[in-house]
Amino acid sequence: MSKAIFIDPKETRKSGWITFKDIPVNQYSKSIDDEKMNFSKEDFLRIYRDMAIIREFETMLYMVRTTGEYEGITYKYTGPAHLSLGQEASAVGQAYILDKDDYIFGSHRSHGEIIAKAMSCIQKMSDDELVEIMKNTFGGAILKVVEGKQKDKNSVKELAIDFFIYGAMAEIFGRENGFARGLGNSMHVFFTPFGIYPNNAIVGGSAPIAIGAALYKKVNKKKGMVICNVGDGALGCGPVWEAMNMAAMDQFKTLWEEGYKGGLPIIFNFFDNQYGMGGQTNGETMGYQMLARIGAGINPEQMYAERIDGYNPLAVIDAIKRKKKLIEENQGPVLLDTVTYRLTGHSPSDAETYRTKEELDAWKAIDPLETFKDDLVNAGIASREEINEIRQYSKELIFKIFKLAIDDSVSPRIDLVKNPDFIGNVMFSNQRIEKMEDRECDVLIPKEENPRVKQIKNKIRVGVQGDKPVSKIKTFQLRDAIFESIIDKFYADPTLIAYGEDNRDWGGAFGVYKGLTESLPYHRFFNAPISEAAIVGSAVGYALCGGRVVVELMYADFMGRAGDEIFNQLSKWQAMSAGVLKMPVVLRMSVGAKYGAQHSQDWTSICAHIPGLKVVYPATPYDAKGIMNTALMGTDPVVFMESQKIYDIGELFRKEGVPEGYYEIPIGEPDIKKEGKDITILTIGPTLYQAVEAAKVLEQKYGVDAEIIDARSVVPFNYEKVIESVKKTGKIVLASDECERGSILNDFARNITELAFDYLDAPPVVIGAKNWITPAYELEKYFYPQADWIIDAIHEKIIPLKDHIPLNNFTRLEQIRLNKLGV
Amino acid sequence: MAIPVKMPKIGLSDESAIIAKWHKKKGEQVKAGEVLFTIETDKSTFDVEAEVDGILLDVFYNEGDEVQVLTDVGIIGREGENIGDIIPSQGKHKSQSETQKQQVSEAKSIEVELSLKDAAEKADSDLLTRVVEKGAVKISPRARGLAERAGVDFRLANATGPEGRIIERDILALIEKGPVFTPAAKEEYLKKDMDLQLTEGTGIGGRITTEDIQKNSEEQEVTKAPLMIAEEPDRRETIEKPALEELRKGVKYKEVRFTNIRKLIAKNMMRSLSTTAQLTSNASFDATEILAYREKIKANGKKYGLENITLNDMVLYAVSRTLPNHPDLNAHLVDETMLIFENVHLGVAIDTERGLMVPTIFNANLKSLNEISREVKQLAEQCRKGTINPDYLKGGTFTVTNLGAMDVEHFTPILNPPQTGILGVCSITYRPRPVNGQYEYYPAMGLSLTFDHRAVDGAPAARFLKDLKTNLENFSLLLAR
């Protein structure tokens, strides 16, 4: 959305044709002789060496996994082994010109890519650089194991190769010396000092993350490009298309400011091994026939798509060289269809019922390890003996490292007996970092001149004055509180960016960002396509590269569209990296109201269920600003729930109102909104206001003095205050707008029961929304918990109230009946 | 086939009885109809006869043991018969608690069978039911904790929570209004597991002290409901408690334990006073006529084959004829329901060595003065001997008690619930009254009517007294009716 772009009906309705440019298919045709001027003998042999190392690495895993031994040494490994045997030339060719500033993201089948990338980096880095990296990795723990075990004691590069192979293998075998302490395993090996970023076991999972990394490079003007390595099977996944589409957004070229103009620096590289598990992408499960074709569907540049021969390392090198140049000219994104073939099954359990022996033999006959060797010998680059020596070296290397990696005395696993909190300690990074980088913030005007900031200055920062409510228009509302916190951060952390649907210009569908556009250039604040997976996934990539980001899903209901990105990516990468990566992402989600079944669901509990996410749901302006400040100061992913019901609410609880200055409210601390002595009401989110209403009736009509606690946070959650309250009152009702079944409140109730059992006068009672669809607005009062529900439930289940006539059925029989029916 | 011998259930209110004597020993031959053992209940002593011929193969309880009713106490069968499946718990004795548990269910099922006819026993059964429910009491952890800290027995709380759960406020109410223990007394109480309704605190702020407990437990040993599940030693062996010893150090005293009947009386009296709204109205009547009648009987009764009809018999007769016009006093009050009886079943208080007993003259209103007189004498005799059939110790609809022989001028008889009235007959005093401008003395006999104000108001009760007075003052006319 931008007024800068005129949508001309004449232009839009004009007759004509869309024309396409030809997409090159395997156009590389140079021989070794042709390339002699570009590659030295060492270069050629190094290409072969890297392919040989990968081949041996994967062979080792294949042997261990299928026969339980390698080179006469038995070892039991039952973890995943998605091997890239046969795909070595593609990997080595891709990595050949890349350095540490080029980031690669991969798939479950990425051993080859990471080894190739590491070898390439080691080749390009200075000895000092390498030594520093090795020393700094886990305090030199990996280095210590391999140090001194090289043939050439003075060769830092040889040491670095051992170091990397060992770190990767230890990771695959789940050892503490692995690059992620063994918490990542085979499908997730990565090592950021060499520009190797997380590999993803979810097919296509890397695509949205990779565009976030590209965004990070672009926005923060970082060197290098990003390659998203996924398989051809990933083209069946929506998030991959979302990522390609978002990477190709016109605004990069049309609206972004000078210096930031141009496409994202990313290559979507499809290692097109012809199969998605067993499904043949050409001829069976897809319709494109040749993968490169799809580039034509994304943008006029057709993503500079090209099919290249992944069985020829030189063809791949050639392509990457050309594409890198395009990227440097801000012509991204680029699509590469790197044709290859895996010579073993999808995994060791694959019976390969989907392909014939003839097909396999035909590919084996052109195995690059043999054909490239022949080519080198035939071209007189090296003798067969020389090349065999390299093969021998690779075998010795892998065997040497294998022995170290499986030796429990040098490669133990993390000791969860001695250190039971090890994994718990890496679930969150819990750091406090004001700005992710120390430099000037790129803004358009001083904060004081921002129109919204000026408007807020005139607002009354309390919701009631005396007994009189302040009018909505004059009150400092909850939406103002969120805005205030976020704009503050935009002027403090230069890496902070925010995006989502209709964020810029519109100011967010509910006006939270109104006025933010005036302060921020496009590259810090822009509109995303309606692509929830790409929005959240890219935030993950942006953050794990080192930036801070706030993304928004317009409605919590759209979370399903970003399921993998929230549940498998945002939540997990801190722990899957054993704390190496940080994830300073605030995911704003608004819970709808008045909008029916697909736009009015409170899904806080779904987020709370997933380990690794912090989940907050402030219900007052004071809390919203304080908690957002904390979220934006931290380094963890925070799901920040907002309610459309109360965006316009003023501060009703804190007499002093909402401070203009900076303050933080710790995440995880509930707040007593009203003290009382007879019964505790714990709420999450806007149900707080129903509780307040109920408390008034309880007091006036029944003489019951309720204490109201606002959870504010759901994960983490400190029960101490609640337990203290329950010790006092002996009774607790828990209420929120989430559907009752599976609501996190049931967890709360269980914990409270366990922690305060002897103090309870009745079992904690959970009140949620009905286990229905959210009906039309006019019927919402029958769906969401109301004050009278709270009172009725108290009467029926906790403490019969004198002369109370319940309006709702909270009897046991009804409870059993409804559960029987599943509603 | 071996037949178990059960402890009989004699009166409906009996929960247990004591085996006073085994007349046959284990292994001895018995014949049907022979006395097997004698039991002692609250109210009477009773011989239990063998129902079959055979050998007394085993006895499970010794003399002096308290046994729940309907419990097997022995086995009669043939020599060498396998009796393993009859012997309680495959062993010699069922543990007391097991027996008690079993009795709970039996007692409950019996309770269900109660008919209106047996309403007289219902009061007892109510107690039983209440205690039965205590076994599965619903109480919140908080309320339980509070009760524990405050030293109150939550079982006495009135449950107002959902589904009959005792919740915090119920315990708070109990603390405020109900009994509170000293810590030592609480321990004692829990050990003894007694019925607290009978206990009133004498400690500071009305707290129940160990002494109160001691006093109470002695009263309650046998009458206490059998279903407290605590495993405890035979209570009769736990009379002396250190605290008590301390208290009585250096004081000479003799300790006389309550007999069963004493315990029952105590219990019934307390319950009567604590569960009814009773009050007493006093009146007197001119006994000239009944005294004259008594003289006639003395002089010529024998000739007419009449009993030695006493003044009391005459009062009984007059009462039996007056009550039908005052149905609210010939009634039972049970659960806010009045059971109005067609006929008058007069309870007559009899003083015996063992204590007060109240046999019933059934259908007294249909019986002649002579019949009444005879029956009273027979019943009194049986009471004194302790051989009265327990069925005669219940079923009364109104009671008459007489302290006149002891020169008591007026007193406050205690109601025998669920009856609504009891008449105390007092001594004769001489009172002056003006006759033709001069005072002359006449014999005035006192009547003390205690009635349950819940059932009857003061005026109707007074009207009854007035009618009774008229009838007694015109006794010969009444007789003629």
Cβ atoms of A216 and A499 within 8 Å: the answer is no
- Average pLDDT of the segment spanning A681-694: 98
Taking domain A41-409, whether its CATH number is 3.30.70.2660 is answered by no
Arithmetic mean of pLDDT over chain A: 96
Tell me what pLDDT residue A484 has: 98
Decide if B163 touches A, using CB distance below 8 A. Answer: yes
Global pTM value: 0.71
Is a pLDDT exceeding 90 seen at residue B209?
no
How near does any CA of chain B get to the CA of A759, in Å? 4
Decide if B67 touches A, using CB distance below 8 A. Answer: no
Residue A268's contacts (CB-CB under 8 Å, 6 or more residues apart) are A207, A210, A228, A230, A240, A243, A244, A247, A303, A333, A334, A335, A336
Question: How would residue A728 be classed by pLDDT, with cut points 50, 70 and 90?
Answer: very high
Tell me what pLDDT residue A228 has: 98
Decide if B138 touches A, using CB distance below 8 A. Answer: no
Go through chain A and tell me how many residues it has.
823
Is a pLDDT exceeding 80 seen at residue A373?
yes
Is a pLDDT exceeding 90 seen at residue B253?
no
Is a pLDDT exceeding 70 seen at residue A120?
yes
Q: Side-chain half-sphere of B322: how many Cα atoms within 13 Å?
A: 27
Higher pLDDT, B396 or B234: B396
A599: annotated active-site residue? yes
Between chains, do B162 and A800 touch, taking CB under 8 Å as contact? yes
Higher pLDDT, B135 or B87: B87
> Closest partner residue to A799 among B141, B145, B161, by Cβ?
B161
Is a pLDDT exceeding 50 seen at residue B224?
no
Secondary structure letter of residue A283 according to DSSP: T
> Closest partner residue to B140 among A761, A800, A812, by Cβ?
A761
Is a pLDDT exceeding 90 seen at residue B249?
no
Between chains, do A730 and B142 touch, taking CB under 8 Å as contact? yes
Least confident of A275-289, A494-508, B204-218: B204-218
Tell me what pLDDT residue B204 has: 59
Decide if A762 touches B, using CB distance below 8 A. Answer: yes
How near does any CA of chain B get to the CA of A671, in Å? 24
How near does any CA of chain A get to the CA of B162, in Å? 6
Tell me how many degrees the CA angle A540-A544-A545 measures, rounded to the nearest 5: 120
Closest CA to B313 of B371, B379, B366: B371
Question: How would residue A448 be classed by pLDDT, with cut points 50, 70 and 90?
Answer: very high
Between chains, do B167 and A799 touch, taking CB under 8 Å as contact? yes
pLDDT digits (tens, 9 = 90+) for B3-54: 888 888 765 556 677 888 888 888 888 888 888 888 877 666 777 888 888 8
pLDDT digits (tens, 9 = 90+) for A647-669: 999 999 999 999 999 999 999 99
How near does any CA of chain A get to the CA of B198, in Å? 29
Tell me what pLDDT residue B410 has: 87
- Average pLDDT of the segment spanning B76-82: 79
Is a pLDDT exceeding 60 seen at residue A326?
yes
pLDDT digits (tens, 9 = 90+) for A530-553: 999 999 999 999 999 999 999 999
Contacts of B169 in chain A (CB under 8 A): 799
pLDDT digits (tens, 9 = 90+) for B276-319: 999 999 999 999 999 999 998 988 888 888 888 999 999 999 99
Torsion sign across C-alpha atoms A86, A90, A93, A99: negative
Decide if A752 touches B, using CB distance below 8 A. Answer: no
Same fold, A41-409 and A447-646: yes
Decide if B149 touches A, using CB distance below 8 A. Answer: no
Contacts of A757 in chain B (CB under 8 A): 141
Decide if B142 touches A, using CB distance below 8 A. Answer: yes
Decide if A760 touches B, using CB distance below 8 A. Answer: yes
Mapped onto helix, strand or coil, the DSSP state of residue A671 is strand
Between chains, do B145 and A758 touch, taking CB under 8 Å as contact? yes
Rg (CA), chain A: 30
* Catalytic residue, candidates A108, A599, A609, A795: A599
Tell me what pLDDT residue A773 has: 95
Size of interface A-B (CB pairs under 8 A): 37
Tell me what pLDDT residue A118 has: 98
Is a pLDDT exceeding 80 seen at residue A405?
yes
- Domain positions in chain B are 3-92, 112-263, 276-480
φ/ψ region of B363 (left if φ > 0, alpha if ψ in -120 to 50, else beta) reads: left
Tell me what pLDDT residue B236 has: 41
Contacts of A761 in chain B (CB under 8 A): 140-143, 161, 167-168
How near does any CA of chain A get to the CA of B166, in Å? 9
Same fold, B3-92 and B276-480: no
pLDDT digits (tens, 9 = 90+) for A623-632: 999 999 999 9
Tell me what pLDDT residue B124 has: 39
Is a pLDDT exceeding 80 seen at residue A359?
yes
Closest CA to A28 of A292, A270, A315: A315
Contacts of A760 in chain B (CB under 8 A): 140-142
- Average pLDDT of the segment spanning A558-567: 97
Distance CA B443, CA B428 (A): 6
CB contact residues (below 8 A), chain A span 36-55, against chain B? none
pLDDT digits (tens, 9 = 90+) for B319-331: 999 999 999 999 9
Tell me what pLDDT residue B264 has: 76
How near does any CA of chain B get to the CA of A795, in Å? 8
Between chains, do B142 and A758 touch, taking CB under 8 Å as contact? yes
Between chains, do B141 and A760 touch, taking CB under 8 Å as contact? yes
Tell me what pLDDT residue B97 has: 44
Distance CA B357, CA B120 (A): 16
pLDDT digits (tens, 9 = 90+) for A772-819: 999 999 999 999 999 999 999 999 999 999 999 999 999 989 999 999
How near does any CA of chain A get to the CA of B161, in Å? 6
Determine the residue of chain A that is closest to B163 in CA distance: A797
- Average pLDDT of the segment spanning A561-576: 97
Taking domain B3-92, whether its CATH number is 1.25.40.340 is answered by no
pLDDT digits (tens, 9 = 90+) for B106-163: 434 333 333 333 433 443 334 333 333 444 788 999 999 998 888 888 887 888 898 8
- Domain positions in chain A are 41-409, 447-646, 671-821
Architecture of domain A447-646: 3-Layer(aba) Sandwich (3.40)
Quote the ipTM score.
0.76
How near does any CA of chain B get to the CA of A724, in Å? 14
Question: How would residue B203 be classed by pLDDT, with cut points 50, 70 and 90?
Answer: low
CB contact residues (below 8 A), chain B span 252-311, against chain A? none
Secondary structure letter of residue A673 according to DSSP: E
Determine the residue of chain A that is closest to B145 in CA distance: A758
Contacts of B145 in chain A (CB under 8 A): 758-759
Instruction: Write the CA distances from A172 to A104, A190, A410, integer angstroms.
Output: 19, 11, 15
Contacts of A762 in chain B (CB under 8 A): 140, 161-162, 165, 167
Cβ atoms of A376 and A35 within 8 Å: the answer is no
Contacts of B143 in chain A (CB under 8 A): 761
Torsion sign across C-alpha atoms A291, A295, A297, A298: positive
pLDDT digits (tens, 9 = 90+) for A139-188: 999 999 999 999 999 999 999 999 999 999 999 999 999 999 999 988 99
Between chains, do A757 and B165 touch, taking CB under 8 Å as contact? no
Mapped onto helix, strand or coil, the DSSP state of residue A488 is helix
Torsion sign across C-alpha atoms A588, A592, A596, A602: positive
Question: How would residue A251 be classed by pLDDT, with cut points 50, 70 and 90?
Answer: very high
Decide if B141 touches A, using CB distance below 8 A. Answer: yes
- Average pLDDT of the segment spanning A254-272: 95
Full 3-state SS string of A105-128: EECCCCHHHHHHHHHHHHHHCCHH
pLDDT digits (tens, 9 = 90+) for A376-390: 999 999 999 999 999
CB contact residues (below 8 A), chain A span 782-821, against chain B? 796-800, 812
Cβ atoms of A55 and A369 within 8 Å: the answer is yes
CATH homologous superfamily of B276-480: Chloramphenicol acetyltransferase-like domain (3.30.559.10)
User: Counting Cβ atoms within 10 Å, is residue B315 exposed (0-12), middle (13-18) or buried (19+)?
Assistant: buried
Between chains, do A761 and B143 touch, taking CB under 8 Å as contact? yes
Which residues partner with A793 through β-bridges? none
> For a pLDDT cut of 90, what percent of chain B falls above it?
29
Contacts of A730 in chain B (CB under 8 A): 140, 142, 168
Decide if A421 touches B, using CB distance below 8 A. Answer: no
Give backbone dihedrals phi and psi of B278, rounded to 5 degrees, phi first: -95, 150
Decide if B161 touches A, using CB distance below 8 A. Answer: yes
Contacts of B161 in chain A (CB under 8 A): 761-762, 798-800
Tell me what pLDDT residue A252 has: 96
Decide if A777 touches B, using CB distance below 8 A. Answer: no
How near does any CA of chain B get to the CA of A796, in Å? 6
Tell me what pLDDT residue B329 has: 94
pLDDT digits (tens, 9 = 90+) for B260-277: 677 777 888 888 898 899
> For a pLDDT cut of 70, what percent of chain A falls above it?
100
Higher pLDDT, B23 or A205: A205
Taking domain A671-821, whether its CATH number is 3.40.50.920 is answered by yes
> Closest partner residue to B140 among A762, A796, A800, by Cβ?
A762
Distance CA B131, CA A541 (A): 70
Is a pLDDT exceeding 70 seen at residue A513?
yes
> Closest partner residue to A759 among B142, B161, B169, by Cβ?
B142
Tell me what pLDDT residue B234 has: 41
Can you tell me which residue has the tokens 């043949």? A280
Higher pLDDT, B53 or A225: A225
> Closest partner residue to A730 among B162, B163, B168, by Cβ?
B168
